[in-house]
Amino acid sequence: MIQASYLDWNNSVPILEKAYDAGLFALIIGPKGTGKTSLVREFAKRKGAKLESINFSLRTRESHLIGTKTLTNGTVSFDEGLLVKSMREGSMLYLDEINSAEADVLLRLDEALDDRRQIALKESTGEIVNAKDNWFVIATINPLTHSGTKELPPQLLSRFPVRISLEYPPEDIELEIVKKYVSEDNDSNLRQGIKLANTLRQAAAVEELFYSPSLRETIAFGKLLDRKVSPKEAAVIVFGNVYAQWGNIEYQKVSDIITSMFGN
């Protein structure tokens, strides 16, 4: 897939620059599909930094961060995890959805992200690994309403003193972003799809609907228009049908909104 260039509409890159220069770790907070991962990739690219990523989930273990003992031909060795590796390399470490991990996993991060920026490999030799000077860490968290997310322990939160909030962009900017991914000139239909997405986002925000569409959906809507799907049909496919999983009443609510915006 082509990687469209990142549109830094809320000036996050200059803030990340300053955090990087000051050696302050950064946290990006925002709902799904608002461009958090794309922002981090863009920033790493601009810095020419190698990016090591860990995508946290309930299944993430300490060993993913620190490493695991392996036995090959009777010799025990230690395969270092991404946290240790990135500290040694001085690369950029991206901790994605850090608030979906278990608390015990996060405990080991406290140690490394402390001002001393070092970690003791008590799992292997006990060696103390010091991070290279240019080591930089960016984490993302999804808002707490997101299923499976937990509150980040305050002492870990305090290790990311630069916080960037990334929300859904204003409609004009979302149009500009979507247009990076489509080839046809279709502004008025694209605008209508973005408007629909925002109507659904607002309804989800006040818990009138169970699901809030992201930029992925507005981009998908644009791509279907490119493939000559009619705006109404694309709206039903991308925005409408998903609500059927919460039953007919939910589905009907959204169908009515789509019909009012796109006709019968």
Ligand X SMILES: Nc1ncnc2c1ncn2[C@@H]1O[C@H](COP(=O)(O)OP(=O)(O)OP(=O)(O)O)[C@@H](O)[C@H]1O
* Contacts to Mg ion by CB under 5 A: 36-37
Q: What angle do CA 11, 17, 23 make, to 5 degrees?
A: 140
B/e letters for 85-124, b = 16+ CB within 10 Å, e = fewer, are bbbebebbbbbbbbbbbeeebbebbeebbeeebebebebb
When asked if residue 142 is in the footprint of ligand X (CB under 6 A), the reply is yes
**Quick one: which of 152, 197, 215, 234 contacts ligand X (CB under 6 A)?**
215
Q: Is 207 left (phi over 0), alpha (psi -120 to 50) or beta?
A: left
When asked if residue 177 is in the footprint of ligand X (CB under 6 A), the reply is yes
Binding window for ligand X (CB under 6 A); candidates: 72-80, 85-93, 192-200, 213-221:
213-221
Q: How far apart are CA 71 and CA 53, in angstroms?
A: 26
Q: How far apart are CA 112 and CA 131, in angstroms?
A: 8
Q: How far apart are CA 231 and CA 196, in angstroms?
A: 11
For ligand X, which is the closer residue by CB, 4 or 242?
4
Q: How far apart are CA 246 and CA 143, in angstroms?
A: 22
When asked if residue 15 is in the footprint of ligand X (CB under 6 A), the reply is no
In the list ligand X, Mg ion, none, the entry touching 87 (Cβ below 5 to 8 angstroms by class) is none
For Mg ion, which is the closer residue by CB, 99 or 189?
99
In the list Mg ion, ligand X, none, the entry touching 218 (Cβ below 5 to 8 angstroms by class) is none
- Could you tell me the smallest distance in angstroms from the CB atom of residue 177 to ligand X? 5
In the list Mg ion, ligand X, none, the entry touching 46 (Cβ below 5 to 8 angstroms by class) is none
In the list Mg ion, ligand X, none, the entry touching 177 (Cβ below 5 to 8 angstroms by class) is ligand X
**Footprint on residues 30-69 left by ligand X (CB under 6 A):** 30, 32-38
Q: Is 241 left (phi over 0), alpha (psi -120 to 50) or beta?
A: alpha
How many residues of this chain interact with ligand X, rule: CB under 6 A?
Answer: 18
Chain positions contacting ligand X, by CB under 6 A: 4, 6-7, 9, 30, 32-38, 142, 177, 180, 215-216, 219
